[in-house]
């Protein structure tokens, strides 16, 4: 049909530099979607695992028993790992007969470290999405400027300086801008979406850390001794499964 756009023809007739720009942008777009699917899968697994562990935590099971079950799970992560780190520090400080305030401060430090590490693992890929969203339009613009410059330079060797002579070159160049936006828009939307989701997970885990600290704070020295003794009992909770 007259006036239709043949994208394949425009791409194949573009200059080498513009083709390189297009290749970079296509690769960035592919990388963006792979990262989106990975983040989505990782977030879904983390949310499901955290919900399961919270249900177990608030089911009334004794903390030493829960600790033994978590200790037997080599693939622990999320809240499970945060609890394991915090309660391990609690038991270690109890054995060293530390003051109650020092025990709680030590547990809080460990919980913050565990929370930070788990959050870093969950957010892997977000900086890449931010980079693609911010850089891709400028890369596409670079290809467009180069292509338009090449098209106008070609007028010097053309017999007729008309719009028809430069229109194909300009159209080829503008494809680079379109590809830049094609890569940047999904990346920006995904970055905002997953940032909000990860913040929600962080707040939930942070509240759990506060609640766990409050539970340990209410433990008296005698109760803490019973907790330590309970770890030597033969009763064990099987490793948590998902």
Q: What is the pLDDT of residues 85-118, one digit of tens each?
A: 999 988 888 887 667 778 888 889 999 999 999 9
Q: What is the pLDDT of residues 110-132, one digit of tens each?
A: 999 999 999 999 999 999 999 99
CA distance between the termini of the chain: 58
Q: What is the pLDDT of residues 179-222, one digit of tens each?
A: 999 999 999 999 999 999 999 999 999 999 998 888 887 764 44
> Dihedral angle at the C-alpha atoms of 186, 190, 192, 194, nearest 10 degrees?
180
* Predicted pLDDT of residue 145: 87
Q: Are 162 and 7 in contact (CB under 8 A)?
A: no
Has residue 178 got a pLDDT over 50? yes
CA atoms within 13 A on the CB side of 209: 25
pTM summary value:
0.78
* Predicted pLDDT of residue 187: 96
Tokens linked to 40: 């989505």
Q: What is the pLDDT of residues 124-173, one digit of tens each?
A: 999 999 999 999 999 999 988 888 887 777 666 665 656 555 666 677 77
Of 102 and 50, the structure prediction assigns the larger pLDDT to 50
Q: Which helix (H) or strand (E) is 89 found in, with range?
A: helix 79-95
CA dihedral for 166, 172, 178, 180, sign (positive or negative): negative
Backbone angles phi and psi of 10, in degrees to 5: -65, -40
């Amino acid at each position: 049909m007259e006036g239709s756009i043949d994208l394949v023809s425009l791409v194949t007739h573009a200059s080498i530099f513009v083709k390189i720009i297009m290749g970079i942008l296509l690769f960035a777009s592919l990388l963006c979607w792979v990262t989106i699917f990975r983040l989505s899968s990782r977030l879904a697994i983390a949310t499901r695992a955290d919900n399961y562990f919270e249900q177990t935590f608030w089911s009334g099971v004794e903390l030493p028993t829960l600790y033994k079950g978590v200790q037997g799970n080599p693939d622990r992560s999320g809240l499970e790992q945060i609890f394991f780190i915090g309660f391990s520090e609690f038991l270690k400080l109890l054995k060293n007969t530390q003051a109650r305030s020092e025990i709680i401060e030590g547990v809080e430090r460990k919980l913050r470290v565990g929370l930070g590490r788990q959050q870093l693992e969950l957010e892997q890929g977000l900086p890449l999405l931010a980079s693609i969203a911010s850089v891709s339009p400028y890369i596409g613009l670079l290809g467009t400027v180069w292509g338009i410059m090449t098209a106008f330079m070609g007028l010097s060797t053309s017999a007729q300086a008309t719009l028809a002579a430069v229109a194909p070159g300009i159209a080829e160049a503008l494809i680079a801008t379109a590809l830049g936006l094609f890569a940047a828009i999904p990346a920006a939307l995904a970055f905002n979406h997953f940032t909000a989701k990860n913040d929600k997970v962080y707040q939930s885990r942070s509240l759990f850390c506060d609640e766990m600290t409050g539970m340990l704070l209410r433990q008296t020295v005698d109760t803490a001794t019973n907790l330590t003794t309970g770890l030597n009992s033969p009763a064990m909770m099987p490793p948590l499964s998902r």
